[in-house]
Amino acid sequence: MVDDAVAGYAVLEYTFFSQGFISMLIVAETSRRKGVGTALVSHLEAIYKTGKLFTSTNESNEPMKALMQRMSYEPSGVVHNLDDGDPELFFFKKLEANR
Ligand SMILES: CC(C)(COP(=O)(O)OP(=O)(O)OC[C@H]1O[C@@H](n2cnc3c(N)ncnc32)[C@H](O)[C@@H]1OP(=O)(O)O)[C@@H](O)C(=O)NCCC(=O)NCCS
């Protein structure tokens, strides 16, 4: 929350090949580039604790790709034919048990 407004939210689920998967991450336009996205992903990493954490975004999504690089996520494959002409890029991070 920022000034009583929701600044962003994220969803972590376990339906992706039994792995952790961030299926939703969105920050309000007025709250972007203030560390909210980083804080949300860091929180999910903290509650996920251990194992492989995945997420995905369109190839055209430069902000999300930059966030992934900044947070040390590694490329983990591409799925074509979801959005026409804009492949879905997958990322993952291996989280250690004793972080
Ligand atoms: C992608 C998104 C979640 C990033 O949230 P955010 O709160 O703005 O991200 P942060 O402020 O934590 O940014 C952390 C770093 O990511 C990178 N980054 C984030 N947005 C960027 C942008 N528009 N351009 C370039 N780099 C960007 C930068 O390295 C940034 O660090 P810096 O601000 O010190 O340079 C946000 O832009 C968003 O909600 N987009 C629409 C929904 C979306 O695309 N969700 C992604 C899943 S599909």
Residues paired with 16 in a beta bridge:
19
> What pLDDT band is residue 1 in, cutting at 50, 70 and 90?
confident
Please give the model's pTM, rounded to 2 decimal places.
0.95
Which residue's alpha carbon is nearest to atom 32 within ligand 1?
A: 33
Determine whether the shortest distance from the Cβ of 41 to ligand 1 is under 6 A.
no
56 pocket-lining for ligand 1 (C-beta < 6 Å): no
**Using CA atoms, how far apart are residues 1 and 15, in angstroms rounded to an integer?**
28
With tokens 């961030």, the residue in question is 22
| Cα gap 69→30, rounded to integer Å | 22
Look at residue 97 in the predicted model and tell me its pLDDT.
Answer: 62
CB 52 within 8 Å of CB 44: no
Q: Are 53 and 19 in contact (CB under 8 A)?
A: yes
Q: Give the H or E element holding residue 93.
A: strand 88-95
| Span 50-95, pLDDT tens digits | 789 999 999 999 999 999 999 999 999 999 999 999 999 999 999 9
